[in-house]
Amino acid sequence: MRILVGCEMTYEFPQPTPVIATLNVHASRFSDLERPDYLITSPAVPLDGYRDSFGNWCQRMVAPAGTFTLKTETIVRDTGTGDRHEREATETPIEKLPSDSVLFLLGSRYCETDCLSNIAWDLFGHIPPGWSRVQAICDYVHDRITFGYEHARATRTAFDVFEEQRGVCRDYAHLAIAFCRCLNIPTRYCNGYVSDIGLPLPHAPGDFAAWMEVYLGGRWHTFDPRNNSSRIGRILIAYGRDAADVPLTLTFGANTLTNFVVTTEEAANVA
């Protein structure tokens, strides 16, 4: 399957402003790209690329005053089979975890394990460890939280989500991540493209979204507490401890986002 993905973001800046963009497909999918997903800016400005501490590709620039647009596009080859489910995957004892996974056991900006630890063990401690426990967490978060773009708030933490019972996809992810970490399961925050390929009409168009990856059975597995179902065309851009590590754009000054378009659809359906 060939999937067209890309985005276009237009800002108005009152003065020259430093920007960091993390909009390119993650290196783990490079071999699936039919062409590089170069980041194009209008007007053109110098870009300084680097890999952050998690290996995500980031690009620094200074946006000029006025209208400024970021755009990227590529075609990704995908199996079309959706997320893999390995229901027999087991938890790994902490002492046997790979060292690079231990960071994803710790509390972070949006995932306060100290506030949620007792709650997590009360809710899920009786469930057999492994895939079934993580799925129970996703079921709980999916059923408890009311989704709505009008509920978006940049400062909402996992504990806030638990109490307020509303949010957007990143809030679902933060609460589920915090619960998993409280139960000693390494879990990392992911963002990228999620399509609606294969879903019955009518459905919303594909978009940028947040989900999580959980370390079970010796590797990372995808779980999506917002949709709580397998999705075709889930294409990773970046991962980190939580949303604070992987903003799509980070702007160091006043600005207004005036246009934001995300494309993720089968290439065969594109004229």
Beta-carbon contacts of 262 under 8 Å, excluding residues fewer than 6 positions away, are 6, 7, 193, 205, 206, 207, 208
Grade residue 205 by pLDDT with cuts at 50, 70 and 90.
low
Q: 94-231 sits in which CATH class?
A: alpha beta
**Residue 247, both tokens:** 């903003």
β-partners of residue 70 are 9, 41
pLDDT at 82: 87
Ranges in the chain annotated CATH 2.60.40.2250: 2-79+248-269
Ranges in the chain annotated CATH 3.10.620.30: 94-231
Grade residue 201 by pLDDT with cuts at 50, 70 and 90.
low
> Going edge to edge, which strands form the sheet with 219-223?
219-223, 207-216, 187-194, 235-240
Grade residue 206 by pLDDT with cuts at 50, 70 and 90.
low
Which amino acid is located at 60 in the chain?
A: R
Average pLDDT of the segment spanning 210-217: 98
pLDDT at 200: 73
pLDDT digits (tens, 9 = 90+) for 50-106: 999 999 999 999 999 999 999 999 999 999 888 888 999 999 999 999 999 999 999
pLDDT digits (tens, 9 = 90+) for 157-198: 999 999 999 999 999 999 999 999 999 999 999 999 998 888
Beta-carbon contacts of 179 under 8 Å, excluding residues fewer than 6 positions away, are 116, 119, 120, 123, 124, 137, 140, 141
Grade residue 202 by pLDDT with cuts at 50, 70 and 90.
low
pLDDT at 204: 61
What end-to-end distance do the CA atoms of the chain give, in Å? 16
pLDDT at 59: 98
pLDDT digits (tens, 9 = 90+) for 236-267: 999 999 999 999 999 999 999 999 999 998 88
**Are residues 244 and 106 in contact, defined by beta-carbon separation less than 8 angstroms?**
no
In angstroms, what is the C-alpha Rg of the chain?
A: 19
Average pLDDT of the segment spanning 8-32: 97
Grade residue 269 by pLDDT with cuts at 50, 70 and 90.
low
- Domain 2-79+248-269 sits in CATH at 2.60.40.2250
pLDDT digits (tens, 9 = 90+) for 142-155: 999 999 989 999 99
Cut 0.85: pTM above it: yes
Three-state DSSP state, 192? strand
